[in-house]
A and B are shown apart, each in its own frame.
Chain A
Amino acid sequence: MSVPLALRTDDLVKRYGGAAVLDGVDLRVARGTITGFLGPNGAGKTTTLKSILGLVRPDAGRIRLFGEDVATAGPALRSRVGWLAQEPRVHGHLTAREALRHALRLSRTTADDEAAERVEASLELVGLSDRADRAVRGFSGGERQRLGLAQAWIHRPELLILDEPAASLDPMGRRDVLRILERLRAETTILFSTHLLDDVERVADAVAILDRGRLRLQCSMDELRASTQGATYHLVVQGAAMARLARLAELPWIERVVTERNGTELDVRVHVRDERKAETELLAALTEGGDVRVRSFALERPRLEDVFVHLTEGNAA
């Protein structure tokens, strides 16, 4: 079944002074999803997002928003998109309420009463109702970020593009922003760039990993989990385990065994191909004979971090 796309880029290329910042990026964002756009600093995430918004002119490639070509569509297409910059800028002399009004006036034509309601709803969404009439210049970084998010959302766009929405925030601010994304999940499609893997694991349905201008991976989180087949069992053992572990490594359902001596204990990581087999036979195979004692036993699932590090370090020059 084909999923309708909110955003599609094909072979997107951007060069600065001969160096390719984006090198053939084919990004897909399905409607109704939250997509985490991951990449190390300098990977080209912001350039990609700015290209989508028409702020940066790509040297080659095509960008389609809701099926319309960004290069040929007029600015009206951007009324269906909301954007939060990495460091959101708001005119400091405005109050939060005025800043939201201004953002709405530039994005949609709305009746005065509806505009007022929308401003109140957006203030409530980001938890700034009690600071609505204070000048923005007195806001903390977290409050500015939330106000920026409200400005991006005020006209209820079909696609929200957020550039590192939580990168510069303290843990509380970061938690607040992620909660807002969770609340918007049912309302819109969200594409957010980040280098915080934990944020993607917490809220995203899909992930795209960009590294040095190239898209290394793009899939749903479910696909990612399914693709990282196999598992790792972490054991701490005592006793004469080395010979037993060597025999274990030869079994067909075991991929490899990694050991590390830790005092009188042995730290063991057993990477298995067949999880079911491991569940029933691993412990028995290790403890058979009674000369090996298992002090702890835990299943470790591959994490996004492992995939990210593998993809980005694996392609290092």
Chain B
Amino acid sequence: MTDTAPSPLLLAPRADGRAPGALHVLLVLVRFEARRWWLRPTGWIQTAVYLAAVAGIGGAAVLQAASAAPGAVADPTELLMAPFVMHLLFASAGVILTAQGAIVGERHDGTAAWVLARPVGRPVWLASKGLALLGSFVVSSVVLPLAALQAVWTFGGMAMTPTQLLVAGLAMSLTVAFWLAVTLLAGTLFDSRGAVSGLAFGTLFVLIQVGQRWTGLLPSGIPFELGRWLHDGTPMAVTGLVLTVGLALATAALATHRFSRMDL
């Protein structure tokens, strides 16, 4: 503890900048959150898991198809959809486990209140959480695994066209966005991590069960639609994609509304 007089800066006239705008605050928070993701081992561990699940399964599928006698593989679509189903399972679980504490954890340990006592709007804070997690998960579970999958499939002579690659990336990102929105909403409904992840995993389980039947309608049907399209060019159902985008946006809006009314 020093006992010196305050520095001249402390005593200077108050002419220090202005309140930051919403975009400035959003960028500061997104950068801070994204840094946290990549600075922690869990970010890299999860990336390794997604690489193994998507490219590893995809690679195995290629090897199986290549080594099988003609006609031995009953449904080649299943082989093509396997990496995307793995992505649905692993990335959704990863999103739920990571995002379950985004609201509840930060409420409990006081860091949400610390940020929101500053000139930061609640929608901006929530958006920063969503965008940072979405960006991190898109890189970890979509971009890197998809690049690895393309490398493996190219080696096996099954490379995706640039359009297929782009559509696959967008569809996988949409899956991540949907489960992120669901988990954030659950974070505004409950006050414990267990309840938040319970609701999100329960929803995932139910949607996977029914998703195989109504692949063109539900968010969990996207991997199946994607596999079919890659195999025989059957167009993906627009209804399912539009519905998933709509559900993700509605869920995010509801989460924002709920969070704006919470006591911290």
Contact = CB atoms under 8 A, between A and B. Distances in A.
Given A106-B115, A117-B9, A124 B20 contact: no
In this complex, the member of B9, B115, B121 whose beta carbon has the largest number of chain A beta carbons within 10 angstroms is B9
A124 B7 contact: yes
A176 B1 contact: yes
Interface of A: 50, 53-57, 74-79, 81, 83, 85, 87-89, 91, 93, 102-103, 105-111, 114, 117-118, 120-121, 124-125, 127, 129, 155-156, 158, 176, 179, 183, 186-187
Contacts of B19: 75-79, 107-109
Contacts, number: 118
A246 B19 CA distance: 68
B9 A108 contact: no
Contacts of B261: 57
8 contacts: A85-B117, A89-B114, A102-B28, A107-B20, A110-B17, A114-B17, A125-B10, A156-B14
Interface string B95-120: 00000000000000111011111111
Contact of A55 (B36, B39, B116): B116
Contact of A106 (B4, B6, B16, B119): B119
Nearest to B27: A105
Interface of B: 1-4, 6-7, 9-11, 14, 16-20, 24-25, 28-29, 32, 36, 39, 109-111, 113-121, 124, 261, 263-264
B6 A74 contact: no
B244 to A, nearest CB: 32
Nearest to B113: A55
A54 B116 contact: yes
Given A108-B17, A110-B16, A83 B6 contact: no
A106 B261 CA distance: 22
A156 B18 CA distance: 11
Contacts of A117: 9
A183 B4 CA distance: 10
A205 to B, nearest CB: 19
A85 B4 contact: no
Given A103-B118, A106-B29, A109-B19, 16 more contacts: A56-B263, A74-B121, A78-B19, A78-B118, A79-B20, A79-B118, A81-B117, A88-B110, A106-B28, A109-B20, A114-B16, A124-B4, A125-B6, A125-B10, A155-B16, A156-B16
Contacts of B10: 121, 125, 156, 187
